[in-house]
Amino acid sequence: DARRAALLKVHSLAAAWFQQQLAGGGGRGARAHLEARGIRAETIDRLALGYAPPQRDSLRRHLIDAGQPLDLLLDSGLIVERDGGRVLDRFRNRLMIPICRDGGAVVAFGGRVLESGQQPKYMNSPESLLYTKSRTLYGLHLTKAAIRRLGYAVMVEGYFDFAQVVQAGVQPAVATCGTAVTAQQARLLRRFASKVIVSFDPDTAGQAAATRTGTLLTSEGLQVNIATLPDGEDPDTCVRRHGGERYTEVLRTSQRFFDCALEDASAGRDLSRNAQLTAFLSDMLTVIHAFPESVVREKHADAVMHRADVKSEAVRADYRRAAVARRASLGNVTTQSVGRRATTAEEGIIWATMHDTRAALEALADTEPEDFKGLATESILRVARTLVEWPADTVPQALLERLDGAEAEEVKRIAAYAHAPVEDVQDCARNLQRDRYKRERVELQDEIARRQQIGSDDAATELDALLRRKMELAQRIEQLGGSDTRQVPRGEQPQVIEAPSK
Protein backbone atom coordinates (compact mmCIF):
# COMPACT_ATOMS: atom_id res chain seq x y z
CA ASP A 1 0.00 0.00 0.00
CA ALA A 2 1.00 3.66 -0.06
CA ARG A 3 2.37 3.74 3.48
CA ARG A 4 4.53 0.68 2.87
CA ALA A 5 5.86 2.15 -0.37
CA ALA A 6 6.66 5.43 1.40
CA LEU A 7 8.57 3.59 4.14
CA LEU A 8 10.53 1.63 1.54
CA LYS A 9 11.57 4.92 -0.05
CA VAL A 10 12.73 6.30 3.33
CA HIS A 11 14.89 3.22 3.89
CA SER A 12 16.31 3.42 0.38
CA LEU A 13 17.23 7.10 0.86
CA ALA A 14 18.78 6.31 4.25
CA ALA A 15 20.83 3.41 2.87
CA ALA A 16 22.23 5.59 0.08
CA TRP A 17 23.06 8.38 2.55
CA PHE A 18 24.82 5.98 4.95
CA GLN A 19 26.93 4.71 2.03
CA GLN A 20 27.90 8.29 1.13
CA GLN A 21 28.93 8.94 4.73
CA LEU A 22 31.14 5.85 4.74
CA ALA A 23 32.88 6.96 1.55
CA GLY A 24 33.38 10.54 2.81
CA GLY A 25 35.92 12.03 5.17
CA GLY A 26 33.82 11.35 8.26
CA GLY A 27 33.78 7.64 7.49
CA ARG A 28 37.53 7.21 7.78
CA GLY A 29 37.33 5.40 11.13
CA ALA A 30 34.58 3.07 9.91
CA ARG A 31 36.60 2.23 6.80
CA ALA A 32 39.63 1.50 8.99
CA HIS A 33 37.48 -0.84 11.11
CA LEU A 34 36.37 -2.74 8.02
CA GLU A 35 39.89 -2.94 6.69
CA ALA A 36 41.13 -4.30 10.03
CA ARG A 37 38.48 -7.02 9.81
CA GLY A 38 39.60 -7.96 6.33
CA ILE A 39 36.43 -6.79 4.58
CA ARG A 40 37.36 -5.86 1.01
CA ALA A 41 35.94 -2.97 -1.04
CA GLU A 42 33.89 -5.26 -3.29
CA THR A 43 32.25 -6.85 -0.22
CA ILE A 44 31.48 -3.41 1.22
CA ASP A 45 29.75 -2.52 -2.05
CA ARG A 46 27.93 -5.83 -2.31
CA LEU A 47 26.56 -5.56 1.23
CA ALA A 48 25.91 -1.81 0.78
CA LEU A 49 27.60 -1.06 4.11
CA GLY A 50 27.47 2.50 5.40
CA TYR A 51 28.23 4.77 8.29
CA ALA A 52 26.03 6.83 10.63
CA PRO A 53 27.93 9.93 11.83
CA PRO A 54 27.95 10.93 15.51
CA GLN A 55 25.80 14.06 15.16
CA ARG A 56 22.42 13.74 16.83
CA ASP A 57 20.16 14.55 13.91
CA SER A 58 22.17 14.38 10.66
CA LEU A 59 19.96 11.74 9.06
CA ARG A 60 16.76 13.45 10.19
CA ARG A 61 17.81 16.73 8.57
CA HIS A 62 18.85 14.93 5.36
CA LEU A 63 15.54 13.10 5.04
CA ILE A 64 13.46 16.17 5.90
CA ASP A 65 15.39 18.10 3.23
CA ALA A 66 14.58 15.25 0.83
CA GLY A 67 10.88 15.90 1.42
CA GLN A 68 10.10 13.06 3.84
CA PRO A 69 7.51 13.90 6.55
CA LEU A 70 8.53 13.57 10.19
CA ASP A 71 5.70 11.16 11.10
CA LEU A 72 6.95 8.78 8.39
CA LEU A 73 10.50 8.99 9.72
CA LEU A 74 9.26 8.15 13.23
CA ASP A 75 7.30 5.18 11.86
CA SER A 76 10.43 3.93 10.10
CA GLY A 77 12.29 3.66 13.41
CA LEU A 78 15.28 5.52 12.00
CA ILE A 79 14.29 8.59 14.01
CA VAL A 80 13.19 8.46 17.65
CA GLU A 81 11.40 10.94 19.87
CA ARG A 82 12.93 11.29 23.33
CA ASP A 83 11.49 12.74 26.52
CA GLY A 84 10.96 16.44 26.14
CA GLY A 85 10.01 16.12 22.50
CA ARG A 86 13.55 15.95 21.11
CA VAL A 87 13.71 14.09 17.77
CA LEU A 88 17.02 12.29 17.23
CA ASP A 89 18.67 9.79 14.91
CA ARG A 90 18.47 6.25 16.28
CA PHE A 91 21.88 5.29 14.87
CA ARG A 92 24.89 7.49 15.66
CA ASN A 93 28.59 6.75 15.16
CA ARG A 94 27.89 3.24 13.99
CA LEU A 95 28.81 1.05 11.04
CA MET A 96 25.53 0.55 9.21
CA ILE A 97 24.37 -2.77 7.75
CA PRO A 98 21.23 -2.74 5.58
CA ILE A 99 18.80 -5.59 6.23
CA CYS A 100 16.81 -6.53 3.15
CA ARG A 101 13.79 -8.67 2.40
CA ASP A 102 14.54 -11.61 0.12
CA GLY A 103 13.56 -9.48 -2.89
CA GLY A 104 16.35 -6.99 -2.12
CA ALA A 105 14.48 -3.95 -0.75
CA VAL A 106 15.98 -2.42 2.40
CA VAL A 107 13.54 -2.77 5.31
CA ALA A 108 15.76 -2.23 8.39
CA PHE A 109 19.31 -1.65 9.55
CA GLY A 110 21.81 -3.11 11.97
CA GLY A 111 24.35 -0.80 13.53
CA ARG A 112 27.68 -1.80 15.07
CA VAL A 113 29.61 0.39 17.48
CA LEU A 114 33.02 1.75 16.51
CA GLU A 115 34.21 2.93 19.93
CA SER A 116 35.13 0.58 22.77
CA GLY A 117 32.76 0.94 25.68
CA GLN A 118 29.85 2.12 23.54
CA GLN A 119 26.75 0.04 24.22
CA PRO A 120 24.92 -1.84 22.95
CA LYS A 121 27.51 -3.39 20.65
CA TYR A 122 24.85 -4.06 18.01
CA MET A 123 21.60 -2.19 17.56
CA ASN A 124 18.85 -3.15 15.14
CA SER A 125 15.90 -1.23 13.78
CA PRO A 126 12.67 -1.89 15.69
CA GLU A 127 10.01 -3.99 14.05
CA SER A 128 7.78 -1.99 11.73
CA LEU A 129 5.26 -2.26 8.94
CA LEU A 130 8.17 -3.42 6.75
CA TYR A 131 10.32 -5.42 9.13
CA THR A 132 9.58 -8.44 11.30
CA LYS A 133 12.83 -9.95 12.56
CA SER A 134 11.29 -13.42 13.04
CA ARG A 135 10.55 -13.52 9.30
CA THR A 136 13.87 -12.14 8.04
CA LEU A 137 17.21 -13.81 7.29
CA TYR A 138 20.15 -11.52 6.71
CA GLY A 139 21.78 -11.85 3.29
CA LEU A 140 19.18 -14.13 1.74
CA HIS A 141 18.50 -11.62 -1.04
CA LEU A 142 22.14 -12.02 -2.13
CA THR A 143 22.52 -15.78 -1.78
CA LYS A 144 19.12 -17.32 -2.51
CA ALA A 145 20.09 -18.21 -6.08
CA ALA A 146 23.19 -20.07 -4.87
CA ILE A 147 21.17 -21.78 -2.12
CA ARG A 148 18.60 -22.95 -4.63
CA ARG A 149 21.28 -24.12 -7.06
CA LEU A 150 23.30 -26.01 -4.46
CA GLY A 151 20.34 -27.34 -2.48
CA TYR A 152 21.65 -26.26 0.94
CA ALA A 153 22.27 -23.19 3.07
CA VAL A 154 25.00 -22.38 5.58
CA MET A 155 23.50 -20.64 8.60
CA VAL A 156 25.80 -18.38 10.64
CA GLU A 157 24.99 -16.03 13.50
CA GLY A 158 26.37 -12.55 12.84
CA TYR A 159 26.65 -9.97 10.10
CA PHE A 160 30.43 -10.28 9.92
CA ASP A 161 30.30 -14.07 9.97
CA PHE A 162 28.18 -13.73 6.85
CA ALA A 163 30.47 -11.12 5.28
CA GLN A 164 33.60 -13.19 5.79
CA VAL A 165 32.27 -16.54 4.59
CA VAL A 166 30.64 -15.07 1.49
CA GLN A 167 33.80 -13.11 0.73
CA ALA A 168 35.73 -16.41 1.10
CA GLY A 169 33.55 -18.04 -1.55
CA VAL A 170 30.89 -19.76 0.56
CA GLN A 171 27.97 -18.48 -1.47
CA PRO A 172 24.90 -20.22 0.06
CA ALA A 173 25.13 -18.40 3.42
CA VAL A 174 22.50 -16.66 5.55
CA ALA A 175 22.73 -15.11 9.02
CA THR A 176 20.38 -15.01 11.98
CA CYS A 177 21.83 -11.69 13.17
CA GLY A 178 22.28 -13.10 16.66
CA THR A 179 18.59 -13.77 17.29
CA ALA A 180 17.04 -17.17 17.88
CA VAL A 181 15.83 -18.90 14.73
CA THR A 182 12.05 -19.05 14.29
CA ALA A 183 9.68 -21.37 12.48
CA GLN A 184 8.90 -18.57 10.00
CA GLN A 185 12.59 -18.25 9.12
CA ALA A 186 12.85 -22.01 8.68
CA ARG A 187 9.89 -22.02 6.30
CA LEU A 188 11.38 -19.11 4.37
CA LEU A 189 14.62 -21.03 3.96
CA ARG A 190 12.77 -24.19 2.97
CA ARG A 191 11.53 -22.39 -0.16
CA PHE A 192 15.09 -22.48 -1.48
CA ALA A 193 16.75 -25.58 0.00
CA SER A 194 16.08 -28.82 1.84
CA LYS A 195 19.31 -28.91 3.87
CA VAL A 196 20.95 -26.49 6.31
CA ILE A 197 24.46 -26.57 7.78
CA VAL A 198 24.41 -24.72 11.11
CA SER A 199 27.73 -22.99 11.83
CA PHE A 200 27.58 -21.22 15.19
CA ASP A 201 30.21 -20.36 17.80
CA PRO A 202 31.71 -23.44 19.52
CA ASP A 203 31.29 -22.09 23.07
CA THR A 204 28.61 -23.36 25.45
CA ALA A 205 26.06 -20.73 24.43
CA GLY A 206 26.74 -21.37 20.76
CA GLN A 207 26.35 -25.11 21.16
CA ALA A 208 23.07 -24.65 23.00
CA ALA A 209 21.86 -22.31 20.25
CA ALA A 210 22.91 -24.83 17.60
CA THR A 211 20.91 -27.56 19.36
CA ARG A 212 17.82 -25.33 19.62
CA THR A 213 18.20 -24.28 16.00
CA GLY A 214 18.76 -27.84 14.80
CA THR A 215 15.67 -28.99 16.67
CA LEU A 216 13.50 -26.27 15.17
CA LEU A 217 14.80 -26.65 11.62
CA THR A 218 14.35 -30.41 11.80
CA SER A 219 10.78 -30.03 13.04
CA GLU A 220 10.10 -27.87 9.97
CA GLY A 221 11.22 -30.65 7.63
CA LEU A 222 14.78 -29.55 6.90
CA GLN A 223 17.79 -31.85 6.95
CA VAL A 224 20.33 -30.39 9.38
CA ASN A 225 24.07 -30.79 9.84
CA ILE A 226 26.19 -29.09 12.50
CA ALA A 227 29.61 -27.68 11.60
CA THR A 228 31.97 -27.69 14.60
CA LEU A 229 34.65 -25.01 14.69
CA PRO A 230 37.81 -25.11 16.83
CA ASP A 231 37.47 -23.65 20.32
CA GLY A 232 37.74 -19.89 20.41
CA GLU A 233 36.79 -19.38 16.78
CA ASP A 234 33.64 -18.32 14.98
CA PRO A 235 33.17 -18.31 11.19
CA ASP A 236 34.55 -14.76 10.99
CA THR A 237 37.78 -15.50 12.88
CA CYS A 238 38.20 -18.93 11.25
CA VAL A 239 38.26 -17.40 7.78
CA ARG A 240 40.51 -14.53 8.83
CA ARG A 241 43.04 -16.78 10.55
CA HIS A 242 43.07 -19.79 8.27
CA GLY A 243 41.41 -18.79 5.00
CA GLY A 244 38.32 -19.92 3.18
CA GLU A 245 39.64 -23.39 2.37
CA ARG A 246 39.90 -24.28 6.06
CA TYR A 247 36.34 -23.09 6.69
CA THR A 248 35.07 -24.99 3.66
CA GLU A 249 36.65 -28.13 5.11
CA VAL A 250 34.81 -27.50 8.39
CA LEU A 251 31.55 -27.40 6.43
CA ARG A 252 32.47 -30.49 4.42
CA THR A 253 33.05 -32.51 7.61
CA SER A 254 29.89 -31.32 9.37
CA GLN A 255 27.95 -34.00 11.24
CA ARG A 256 24.29 -34.92 11.23
CA PHE A 257 22.33 -32.94 13.80
CA PHE A 258 21.16 -36.01 15.71
CA ASP A 259 24.70 -37.35 16.06
CA CYS A 260 25.95 -33.99 17.38
CA ALA A 261 23.04 -33.66 19.80
CA LEU A 262 23.73 -37.17 21.10
CA GLU A 263 27.39 -36.31 21.72
CA ASP A 264 26.59 -32.99 23.38
CA ALA A 265 23.85 -34.42 25.62
CA SER A 266 26.06 -37.25 26.89
CA ALA A 267 29.25 -35.22 27.29
CA GLY A 268 30.16 -34.63 30.93
CA ARG A 269 27.34 -36.79 32.25
CA ASP A 270 27.73 -39.97 34.26
CA LEU A 271 24.96 -42.05 32.72
CA SER A 272 25.34 -44.69 35.42
CA ARG A 273 23.73 -42.21 37.85
CA ASN A 274 19.96 -42.19 37.64
CA ALA A 275 19.48 -38.41 37.83
CA GLN A 276 21.98 -37.71 35.07
CA LEU A 277 20.59 -40.55 32.97
CA THR A 278 17.10 -39.10 33.29
CA ALA A 279 18.26 -35.64 32.23
CA PHE A 280 20.11 -37.14 29.24
CA LEU A 281 17.11 -39.18 28.12
CA SER A 282 14.77 -36.21 28.52
CA ASP A 283 17.04 -33.88 26.53
CA MET A 284 17.34 -36.43 23.74
CA LEU A 285 13.60 -37.06 23.69
CA THR A 286 13.09 -33.38 22.87
CA VAL A 287 15.52 -33.75 19.97
CA ILE A 288 13.91 -36.96 18.72
CA HIS A 289 10.43 -35.43 18.77
CA ALA A 290 11.60 -32.89 16.18
CA PHE A 291 11.89 -35.55 13.48
CA PRO A 292 8.65 -35.79 11.48
CA GLU A 293 8.90 -39.49 10.50
CA SER A 294 7.96 -42.04 13.17
CA VAL A 295 10.36 -44.63 11.76
CA VAL A 296 13.25 -42.16 12.18
CA ARG A 297 12.16 -41.36 15.74
CA GLU A 298 12.18 -45.05 16.58
CA LYS A 299 15.65 -45.53 15.11
CA HIS A 300 17.00 -42.56 17.05
CA ALA A 301 15.40 -43.83 20.28
CA ASP A 302 17.30 -47.09 19.85
CA ALA A 303 20.53 -45.12 19.37
CA VAL A 304 19.90 -43.23 22.61
CA MET A 305 19.25 -46.46 24.51
CA HIS A 306 22.49 -47.90 23.10
CA ARG A 307 24.48 -44.81 24.15
CA ALA A 308 22.98 -44.94 27.64
CA ASP A 309 23.64 -48.70 27.83
CA VAL A 310 20.12 -49.34 29.10
CA LYS A 311 19.63 -53.09 29.49
CA SER A 312 16.01 -53.20 30.66
CA GLU A 313 13.75 -54.18 27.77
CA ALA A 314 10.79 -52.58 29.54
CA VAL A 315 12.56 -49.23 29.77
CA ARG A 316 13.78 -49.47 26.19
CA ALA A 317 10.27 -50.24 24.98
CA ASP A 318 8.76 -47.37 26.99
CA TYR A 319 11.32 -44.91 25.66
CA ARG A 320 10.74 -46.10 22.11
CA ARG A 321 6.97 -45.63 22.53
CA ALA A 322 7.48 -42.13 23.99
CA ALA A 323 9.68 -41.23 21.02
CA VAL A 324 7.41 -42.61 18.33
CA ALA A 325 4.23 -41.17 19.86
CA ARG A 326 5.93 -37.81 20.64
CA ARG A 327 4.90 -38.31 24.27
CA ALA A 328 6.65 -35.89 26.63
CA SER A 329 6.68 -38.21 29.64
CA LEU A 330 9.47 -40.76 29.95
CA GLY A 331 7.26 -43.21 31.83
CA ASN A 332 9.35 -45.77 33.72
CA VAL A 333 12.56 -43.92 32.98
CA THR A 334 11.72 -40.73 34.89
CA THR A 335 12.54 -40.05 38.51
CA GLN A 336 9.38 -37.96 38.88
CA SER A 337 7.64 -38.83 42.14
CA VAL A 338 4.22 -40.36 41.60
CA GLY A 339 1.54 -38.35 43.35
CA ARG A 340 3.84 -35.42 44.23
CA ARG A 341 1.99 -32.10 44.18
CA ALA A 342 3.17 -29.08 42.22
CA THR A 343 4.73 -26.20 44.12
CA THR A 344 3.57 -22.62 43.85
CA ALA A 345 6.57 -21.85 41.64
CA GLU A 346 5.73 -24.66 39.21
CA GLU A 347 2.10 -23.62 38.98
CA GLY A 348 3.11 -19.98 38.58
CA ILE A 349 5.23 -20.72 35.52
CA ILE A 350 2.61 -22.97 33.96
CA TRP A 351 -0.19 -20.46 34.57
CA ALA A 352 1.89 -17.68 33.05
CA THR A 353 2.75 -19.85 30.03
CA MET A 354 -0.96 -20.02 29.24
CA HIS A 355 -1.98 -16.45 30.19
CA ASP A 356 1.10 -14.20 30.32
CA THR A 357 3.15 -16.06 27.77
CA ARG A 358 5.83 -13.50 26.97
CA ALA A 359 6.75 -13.13 30.64
CA ALA A 360 6.78 -16.90 31.08
CA LEU A 361 9.05 -17.42 28.07
CA GLU A 362 11.49 -14.82 29.39
CA ALA A 363 11.55 -16.62 32.74
CA LEU A 364 11.96 -20.06 31.17
CA ALA A 365 14.81 -18.79 29.00
CA ASP A 366 16.82 -18.22 32.18
CA THR A 367 16.33 -21.79 33.42
CA GLU A 368 18.09 -25.05 32.68
CA PRO A 369 16.56 -28.54 32.37
CA GLU A 370 18.27 -29.54 35.63
CA ASP A 371 16.15 -26.93 37.46
CA PHE A 372 13.09 -29.14 36.93
CA LYS A 373 14.60 -32.47 38.01
CA GLY A 374 12.28 -34.43 40.30
CA LEU A 375 9.44 -31.90 40.21
CA ALA A 376 5.84 -33.00 39.89
CA THR A 377 5.57 -31.03 36.64
CA GLU A 378 9.08 -31.85 35.38
CA SER A 379 8.01 -33.12 31.96
CA ILE A 380 5.59 -30.20 31.45
CA LEU A 381 8.23 -27.59 32.26
CA ARG A 382 10.84 -29.30 30.12
CA VAL A 383 8.51 -29.20 27.12
CA ALA A 384 7.56 -25.58 27.85
CA ARG A 385 11.24 -24.66 27.95
CA THR A 386 11.72 -26.01 24.40
CA LEU A 387 9.21 -23.41 23.18
CA VAL A 388 11.02 -20.29 24.43
CA GLU A 389 11.93 -19.19 20.90
CA TRP A 390 8.41 -19.65 19.52
CA PRO A 391 6.05 -16.75 18.84
CA ALA A 392 4.24 -16.15 22.12
CA ASP A 393 0.74 -16.47 20.70
CA THR A 394 1.45 -20.02 19.47
CA VAL A 395 2.94 -21.37 22.69
CA PRO A 396 -0.14 -22.29 24.80
CA GLN A 397 -1.62 -24.53 22.12
CA ALA A 398 1.79 -25.92 21.14
CA LEU A 399 2.45 -26.90 24.75
CA LEU A 400 -0.84 -28.78 25.05
CA GLU A 401 -0.24 -30.59 21.77
CA ARG A 402 3.15 -31.87 22.98
CA LEU A 403 1.94 -33.34 26.26
CA ASP A 404 0.20 -36.62 26.94
CA GLY A 405 -3.38 -36.63 28.15
CA ALA A 406 -2.75 -36.48 31.90
CA GLU A 407 -0.13 -33.76 31.58
CA ALA A 408 -2.34 -31.66 29.31
CA GLU A 409 -5.17 -31.96 31.84
CA GLU A 410 -2.82 -30.77 34.59
CA VAL A 411 -1.93 -27.71 32.52
CA LYS A 412 -5.61 -26.98 31.90
CA ARG A 413 -6.34 -27.35 35.63
CA ILE A 414 -3.69 -24.79 36.52
CA ALA A 415 -4.69 -22.50 33.65
CA ALA A 416 -8.25 -22.44 35.00
CA TYR A 417 -7.20 -20.42 38.06
CA ALA A 418 -8.81 -16.98 37.91
CA HIS A 419 -5.60 -15.34 39.15
CA ALA A 420 -1.92 -16.11 38.89
CA PRO A 421 -0.64 -18.26 41.79
CA VAL A 422 2.38 -15.91 42.05
CA GLU A 423 2.60 -12.26 40.96
CA ASP A 424 6.09 -12.43 39.40
CA VAL A 425 6.87 -15.40 37.17
CA GLN A 426 10.58 -14.47 37.27
CA ASP A 427 10.46 -15.16 41.02
CA CYS A 428 9.10 -18.62 40.24
CA ALA A 429 12.05 -19.39 37.99
CA ARG A 430 14.51 -18.06 40.56
CA ASN A 431 12.91 -20.19 43.27
CA LEU A 432 13.23 -23.34 41.18
CA GLN A 433 16.88 -22.53 40.49
CA ARG A 434 17.57 -21.87 44.15
CA ASP A 435 15.91 -25.12 45.22
CA ARG A 436 18.00 -27.00 42.66
CA TYR A 437 21.18 -25.50 44.12
CA LYS A 438 20.01 -26.47 47.61
CA ARG A 439 19.51 -30.07 46.46
CA GLU A 440 22.93 -30.05 44.85
CA ARG A 441 24.45 -28.64 48.04
CA VAL A 442 23.01 -31.53 50.09
CA GLU A 443 24.43 -34.07 47.62
CA LEU A 444 27.75 -32.24 47.69
CA GLN A 445 27.90 -32.35 51.48
CA ASP A 446 27.48 -36.14 51.37
CA GLU A 447 30.37 -36.39 48.90
CA ILE A 448 32.51 -34.09 51.06
CA ALA A 449 31.91 -36.31 54.09
CA ARG A 450 32.94 -39.35 52.08
CA ARG A 451 36.14 -37.69 50.84
CA GLN A 452 37.05 -36.60 54.36
CA GLN A 453 36.98 -40.22 55.48
CA ILE A 454 39.36 -41.35 52.70
CA GLY A 455 42.24 -39.10 53.75
CA SER A 456 44.54 -39.57 50.71
CA ASP A 457 46.39 -36.78 48.85
CA ASP A 458 44.15 -37.25 45.83
CA ALA A 459 41.08 -37.10 48.05
CA ALA A 460 42.40 -33.89 49.64
CA THR A 461 42.74 -32.25 46.21
CA GLU A 462 39.23 -33.33 45.21
CA LEU A 463 37.93 -32.24 48.62
CA ASP A 464 39.29 -28.74 48.05
CA ALA A 465 37.42 -28.53 44.72
CA LEU A 466 34.23 -29.78 46.36
CA LEU A 467 34.48 -27.20 49.14
CA ARG A 468 34.94 -24.42 46.57
CA ARG A 469 31.88 -25.68 44.72
CA LYS A 470 29.91 -25.68 47.96
CA MET A 471 30.87 -22.04 48.53
CA GLU A 472 29.82 -21.20 44.96
CA LEU A 473 26.43 -22.82 45.54
CA ALA A 474 25.97 -20.89 48.78
CA GLN A 475 26.69 -17.64 46.94
CA ARG A 476 24.24 -18.50 44.15
CA ILE A 477 21.54 -19.37 46.66
CA GLU A 478 22.11 -16.07 48.44
CA GLN A 479 22.06 -14.13 45.15
CA LEU A 480 18.76 -15.71 44.12
CA GLY A 481 17.17 -14.85 47.49
CA GLY A 482 13.39 -15.05 47.82
CA SER A 483 11.24 -17.34 49.92
CA ASP A 484 11.18 -21.10 49.65
CA THR A 485 8.91 -22.66 47.07
CA ARG A 486 6.20 -24.60 48.79
CA GLN A 487 3.21 -26.75 48.05
CA VAL A 488 -0.05 -24.86 47.83
CA PRO A 489 -2.25 -25.83 50.80
CA ARG A 490 -5.75 -26.77 49.86
CA GLY A 491 -7.17 -23.75 51.64
CA GLU A 492 -4.97 -21.40 49.60
CA GLN A 493 -5.71 -22.69 46.13
CA PRO A 494 -6.50 -19.78 43.78
CA GLN A 495 -10.10 -19.33 42.73
CA VAL A 496 -10.93 -21.61 39.80
CA ILE A 497 -12.90 -20.51 36.79
CA GLU A 498 -13.98 -22.52 33.78
CA ALA A 499 -11.00 -23.13 31.49
CA PRO A 500 -11.36 -21.56 28.05
CA SER A 501 -11.97 -24.08 25.30
CA LYS A 502 -9.29 -24.26 22.64
Number of structural domains in the chain: 4
Check whether residue 391 and residue 451 sit in a common domain.
yes
Contact between residue 2 and residue 126 where contact means Cβ atoms under 8 Å apart: no
Check whether residue 319 and residue 378 sit in a common domain.
no
3-state secondary structure 230-287: CCCCCHHHHHHHHCHHHHHHHHHCCEEHHHHHHHHHHCCCCCCCHHHHHHHHHHHHHH
Check whether residue 466 and residue 356 sit in a common domain.
yes
Which residue among 234, 261, 288 closes a domain?
261
pLDDT digits (tens, 9 = 90+) for 147-195: 999 999 999 999 999 999 999 999 999 999 767 898 899 999 999 999 9
Check whether residue 166 and residue 124 sit in a common domain.
no
Give the pLDDT confidence score for residue 446 in this predicted structure.
65
Q: Residue 422: which CATH number?
A: 1.10.860
| 487 pLDDT more than 50 | no
Check whether residue 317 and residue 351 sit in a common domain.
no
Give the pLDDT confidence score for residue 336 in this predicted structure.
38
Check whether residue 434 and residue 454 sit in a common domain.
yes
Which residue among 304, 333, 362 closes a domain?
333
Check whether residue 329 and residue 341 sit in a common domain.
no
Check whether residue 234 and residue 373 sit in a common domain.
no
Supply the Cα-derived Rg of the chain in whole angstroms.
Answer: 26
Q: Residue 179: which CATH number?
A: 3.40.1360.10
Count of alpha carbons within 13 Å of 220, Cβ hemisphere only? 23
Check whether residue 226 and residue 302 sit in a common domain.
no
Most confident of 88-97, 269-278, 323-332: 88-97
Contact between residue 174 and residue 154 where contact means Cβ atoms under 8 Å apart: yes
Amino acid residing at 462: E
**How far is residue 219's CA from residue 197's CA, in Å, rounded to a whole number?**
15
Check whether residue 377 and residue 323 sit in a common domain.
no
Q: In what order do the strands lie in the sheet with 223-226?
A: 173-175, 152-156, 195-198, 223-226, 255-256
Structural domain that includes position 378: 336-502
Alpha helices in 93-151 (DSSP H): 140-150
| 426 pLDDT more than 50 | yes
Q: Strand, helix or coil at 417?
A: strand
| 488 pLDDT more than 50 | no
In sequence order, the 6+-apart residues with CB closer than 8 A to the CB of 13 are 62, 63, 66, 68
In sequence order, the 6+-apart residues with CB closer than 8 A to the CB of 440 are 473
Which residue among 333, 352, 372 closes a domain?
333
User: Got the DSSP string for 184-228?
Assistant: HHHHHHHTT-SEEEE---SSHHHHHHHHHHHHHHHHTT-EEEEPP
Check whether residue 384 and residue 486 sit in a common domain.
yes
Supply the DSSP symbol for 331: G
Check whether residue 157 and residue 291 sit in a common domain.
no
Contact between residue 14 and residue 6 where contact means Cβ atoms under 8 Å apart: no
Amino acid residing at 375: L
Q: Residue 124: which CATH number?
A: 3.90.980.10
Phi then psi dihedrals of residue 196, to 5 deg: -135, 135
